[in-house]
Structure 1
């Protein structure tokens, strides 16, 4: 095949071509000029943001025959050899398929040999988070003190999976998502250079669908060029990305605003007939109202818009819809989106959501001096009635100090009652194997929550632990009842914990919480009513404190336990 994809043909060959990562490229260029090259780098960030490209450019720059330079010349033998892959001194390794200890030991054995052609031997390890624990351990010492002629460049999309001992031995650079404006600028340059005709709006649709990844954007552009006839149009871009046109969203939002259920359902039927995905559509509709809310608050931040373009119809709708309505609309759509995740018929939930949107009752706003005047008149009327009551001898009840008595406030909090039925059902099918599977990844899950800025969820689990598990659910024991109540009444918490454990264990488990003191009672009642011993059941065994103390004093061999 002679044809190459756009993202391969237009892969950056110099730091100036790396779009949207100036904070990284400038630092690397200064280090190159001052010859302050580190022995190990870690490039982390979302997919398609230039990590591997920057690594290859850095490898060329340190080996360029004209060095020290801040940009590789791409003309000398070293630069050309690294570009076409003919120089063996720059080794690219895919850690996803070479993640064992033996592969890393092979690297460790070969780093001591001097480079054949270039000045430095550069190892680029892509998707480094896929390495096994043993492979990371094998890499540790070599990564910390490699020979002077060796440079390691690690690239990853999931830095939280890399051991801290590895991260601390590298200079870390975080690549960020590329803005839609920068992606559009790069695509315009490529389209102009290749002679492709396009509509400006089509490039904006592609840029927003790429979600900050240049490689994704160029892949979509490549697909749109193949799909189009003579020019990449807005309709072509919408068809390729699966997005919904701005005109359709405006039409549906107008139907919702006018409470026209028939028009809303008719428009939705037309959309689904065209083969659009209901899940993708509801995501677009949420972003549409989100952008409308942002436009109300800060009209100048057009770059922050995820979905809309400021056409005349959108601006007219924005004036009619109040911010309070937008909050209600987004909340309704968000609930429908959550329900659609767990059903085989998302279309039904989408149709119900459209009907609900058209039937939402608008919260009346306090308007002007008329309402204030009515409120003042009502206050005056109540004051007159109070004076009449006093004159007739009726006065409010007072305490000994002469101040009106107030009803005592209810301060008692309703205690949390653990779902005994659910817990007993879990205990019937619980096994030690399932419990160990959850406990073995419990620490990894807590670390992932903290790394992903979910500290509030992690905080609730600081003094909690799994105590029983089956193939479908597991029980968490909380030290404090209030923490258990806060966790079990928070659907966001339950979703996050379920998703995190599914990621580590491969199973979607239901989460059931129980306070410490209630757990002991439930557990004892279950054991007394079932002919199971604790070693057969997936529950955390609780040893009698007197027996434990006796074992400490006399040793297990000298103690005989009798019921």
Structure 2
């Protein structure tokens, strides 16, 4: 038989063999034991985290007649046929190449027929987010009214592309990225079973390069085994992954921290001359800086063994840079990493980056060189603060004695005038029609739809609306208040955002609403002005009703004042949007 890749040979055949997903596997096993399985499941998560493997194991377990603690026996004819891919009742479909309406309709028609060999007919649809809108609509009816003895398992790496109507009809399981430690332990187990010699540091390099994917880790391990003739060494794993040795990273970091630009440039050029990838080099430097930063703040969070360095080396490195400098380094590294994605000359960017990092350290250490100046500045600051404290004590004493001086109030007058110069204009002609018909029930109903509406928008639109909330609503409109004036102005200028919100609200509620934006700091004033104006109009037309209300004015004259105080206190406690005043 021809050679098979490691990730195929060592694919999990039991739930306990799936790495790093204990919560999901335990839930599925308990559902099988208690016979509380669902008709549809949605497995989401990054690539190589066990979604398809879990789906196949579940298909075996639900049809296995010799179930042991929720695990398939893998010995009966049903388990063997499913493992070999020969069971007609377990159908695995690639949605990327079968994403049309006709393919899904064919599935829907065939799903009506009873299984021929197994107890349950299981459909595993991989990369389900690739289905077209029409295909999703065709699948929706089947998920809503599933036939007996049919189970659908949908797997995807991009769940945000799946309609909410599909997600709501499935049990969703989110597969998380596999930790480097779990990947290391799995590779170590496989190599021990294969009786292959290996260096543990080499396995840590592979586990970190896999970035949370078990399949990626086994693919890289396969490459290393092929490169080194069934032997896993640190040098070979560094060559295959394109990673940089810890010694060179330590040397590079030390040189930029000591602002030795020439030496750091020489080290960086030597790394590139060995054939290392520029992107991988930046990722390694970011990871190295992150480990040092964590060791400074919480040493117990850094496993020295997994990083290939000793505690003594970390103790020396943390003395080279302060946390603020490391923050600035990581920011510079991230910026250059983004720019390098669109260039054919990464070495130029890396050279500029090295000089920037070296100068960054030089700037950060240049300020505390003159210690005498710094000490004198601190003394002056302390003296100034003491004078202010003494002045405040005198002011408090005068206030207690009833001696309030006029000059104390002067600074407050000037400070209160400044915000008025940056007032943002609001189109009240759009706001007032919504307020005239606004009700509490409409606002509550709209807030229940708000999260679904946000999920239907683009990522940029959701980010803009993240600091906003609906503050008033009617059957025909909604007022949205923004926390910051800058984001309010950006939303007002974005006509596409307004159109998309109105369209999505129409789809969710079946009602056409006009969306109006206001700044949150101006909303109380706008609302008060509208109430005052509304009351004035009401008083002019209330002469006829005053006679009918004469029976309600038998209370004392002080009663309205008391009611106003109660309303005011309630609004302070619960907010103006919650308190609603009704006349008996």
Residue 109 of structure 1 deviates from its aligned partner by 1.1
Residue 15 of structure 1 deviates from its aligned partner by 0.6
Worse overlay, 284-293 or 305-314? 305-314
Q: How does 1:314-329 map to 2 (within 5 A)?
A: 314-329=314-329
2:408 corresponds to:
403
1:99 corresponds to:
99
Residue 457 of structure 1 aligns to a residue whose secondary structure is: helix
Instruction: Provide the C-alpha distance between the structure 1 equivalents of 2:103 and 2:230, rounded to a whole number of angstroms.
Output: 49
Instruction: Provide the C-alpha distance between the structure 1 equivalents of 2:17 and 2:349, rounded to a whole number of angstroms.
Output: 46
2:487 pairs with 1:483: yes
Classify 1:226/1:191 alpha carbon distance in 2 versus 1 (closer, same or farther; 3 Å). Answer: same
Residue 311 of structure 1 deviates from its aligned partner by 5.9
Classify 1:402/1:484 alpha carbon distance in 2 versus 1 (closer, same or farther; 3 Å). Answer: closer
Residue 403 of structure 1 deviates from its aligned partner by 3.3
Residue 276 of structure 2 aligns to a residue whose secondary structure is: coil
Q: How does 1:219-368 map to 2 (within 5 A)?
A: 219-229=219-229, 231-302=231-302, 309-310=309-310, 312-360=312-360, 361-362=363-364, 364=367
2:378 pairs with 1:375: yes
Q: What is the count of residue pairs matched by the alignment?
A: 440
2:203 corresponds to:
203
Classify 1:381/1:190 alpha carbon distance in 2 versus 1 (closer, same or farther; 3 Å). Answer: closer
1:131 corresponds to:
131
2:551 corresponds to:
none
Classify 1:172/1:49 alpha carbon distance in 2 versus 1 (closer, same or farther; 3 Å). Answer: same
Residue 149 of structure 1 deviates from its aligned partner by 1.4
CA deviation string 1:34-57 (max 9, x = no partner):
111111111111111111111111
Instruction: Provide the C-alpha distance between the structure 2 equivalents of 1:129 and 1:43, rounded to a whole number of angstroms.
Output: 12
Instruction: Provide the C-alpha distance between the structure 2 equivalents of 1:454 and 1:23, rounded to a whole number of angstroms.
Output: 33
Q: How does 1:20-31 map to 2 (within 5 A)?
A: 20-31=20-31
Classify 1:263/1:149 alpha carbon distance in 2 versus 1 (closer, same or farther; 3 Å). Answer: same
Residue 483 of structure 1 deviates from its aligned partner by 2.4
Instruction: Provide the C-alpha distance between the structure 2 equivalents of 1:335 and 1:173, rounded to a whole number of angstroms.
Output: 34
What is the RMSD of the two structures over their aligned residues, measured on CA atoms? 3.9
Instruction: Provide the C-alpha distance between the structure 2 equivalents of 1:318 and 1:366, rounded to a whole number of angstroms.
Output: 20
Residue 80 of structure 1 deviates from its aligned partner by 0.5
8 Å CA contact retained: 1:112, 1:147: yes
1:473 corresponds to:
none
8 Å CA contact retained: 1:5, 1:222: yes
Residue 153 of structure 2 aligns to a residue whose secondary structure is: strand
CA deviation string 1:296-339 (max 9, x = no partner):
11111126999774464343112332212212222332333333
CA deviation string 1:93-115 (max 9, x = no partner):
11110111111111111112121
Classify 1:485/1:234 alpha carbon distance in 2 versus 1 (closer, same or farther; 3 Å). Answer: farther
Classify 1:48/1:445 alpha carbon distance in 2 versus 1 (closer, same or farther; 3 Å). Answer: farther
8 Å CA contact retained: 1:460, 1:487: no
Q: How does 1:537-548 map to 2 (within 5 A)?
A: none
Worse overlay, 16-25 or 231-240? 231-240
CA deviation string 1:85-130 (max 9, x = no partner):
1111111111110111111111111112121111111111111111
Instruction: Provide the C-alpha distance between the structure 1 equivalents of 2:311 and 2:200, rounded to a whole number of angstroms.
Output: 14
8 Å CA contact retained: 1:61, 1:69: no
Instruction: Provide the C-alpha distance between the structure 1 equivalents of 2:105 and 2:315, rounded to a whole number of angstroms.
Output: 62
Compare CA radii of gyration and give the structure with the larger one: 2
Classify 1:92/1:402 alpha carbon distance in 2 versus 1 (closer, same or farther; 3 Å). Answer: closer
8 Å CA contact retained: 1:250, 1:314: no
1:36 corresponds to:
36
CA deviation string 1:326-378 (max 9, x = no partner):
12222332333333344443322211111122122125569999966873467
Worse overlay, 41-50 or 300-309? 300-309
Residue 169 of structure 1 deviates from its aligned partner by 1.1
Classify 1:148/1:107 alpha carbon distance in 2 versus 1 (closer, same or farther; 3 Å). Answer: same
Residue 362 of structure 1 aligns to a residue whose secondary structure is: helix
8 Å CA contact retained: 1:62, 1:68: no
Residue 148 of structure 1 deviates from its aligned partner by 1.7
Residue 117 of structure 1 aligns to a residue whose secondary structure is: coil
TM-score for the superposition, normalised by structure 1: 0.70
Instruction: Provide the C-alpha distance between the structure 1 equivalents of 2:58 and 2:267, rounded to a whole number of angstroms.
Output: 52
Residue 4 of structure 2 aligns to a residue whose secondary structure is: coil
2:521 corresponds to:
none
Residue 81 of structure 1 deviates from its aligned partner by 0.7
1:140 corresponds to:
140
Classify 1:12/1:481 alpha carbon distance in 2 versus 1 (closer, same or farther; 3 Å). Answer: same
1:457 corresponds to:
464
CA deviation string 1:224-256 (max 9, x = no partner):
111114631111111111111111110101111
Instruction: Provide the C-alpha distance between the structure 2 equivalents of 1:383 and 1:270, rounded to a whole number of angstroms.
Output: 57
| Aligned partner (choices 443, 448, 455) of residue 447 of structure 1 | 455
8 Å CA contact retained: 2:204, 2:306: no
Q: How does 1:520-559 map to 2 (within 5 A)?
A: none
1:111 corresponds to:
111
Classify 1:285/1:485 alpha carbon distance in 2 versus 1 (closer, same or farther; 3 Å). Answer: farther
Instruction: Provide the C-alpha distance between the structure 1 equivalents of 2:91 and 2:386, rounded to a whole number of angstroms.
Output: 87
Classify 1:61/1:79 alpha carbon distance in 2 versus 1 (closer, same or farther; 3 Å). Answer: same
Worse overlay, 357-366 or 246-255? 357-366
2:429 corresponds to:
none
Residue 381 of structure 1 deviates from its aligned partner by 9.6
Residue 201 of structure 1 deviates from its aligned partner by 0.6
CA deviation string 1:130-189 (max 9, x = no partner):
111111111112122222211111111111111111111111111111111111111000
Instruction: Provide the C-alpha distance between the structure 2 equivalents of 1:273 and 1:93, rounded to a whole number of angstroms.
Output: 45
Residue 10 of structure 1 deviates from its aligned partner by 0.3
8 Å CA contact retained: 2:464, 2:487: no
Classify 1:486/1:306 alpha carbon distance in 2 versus 1 (closer, same or farther; 3 Å). Answer: farther
1:560 corresponds to:
none
1:54 corresponds to:
54
Residue 354 of structure 1 aligns to a residue whose secondary structure is: helix
Structure 1's unaligned 5+ residue stretches are: 385-398, 417-442, 464-477, 498-514, 517-563
Worse overlay, 362-371 or 124-133? 362-371
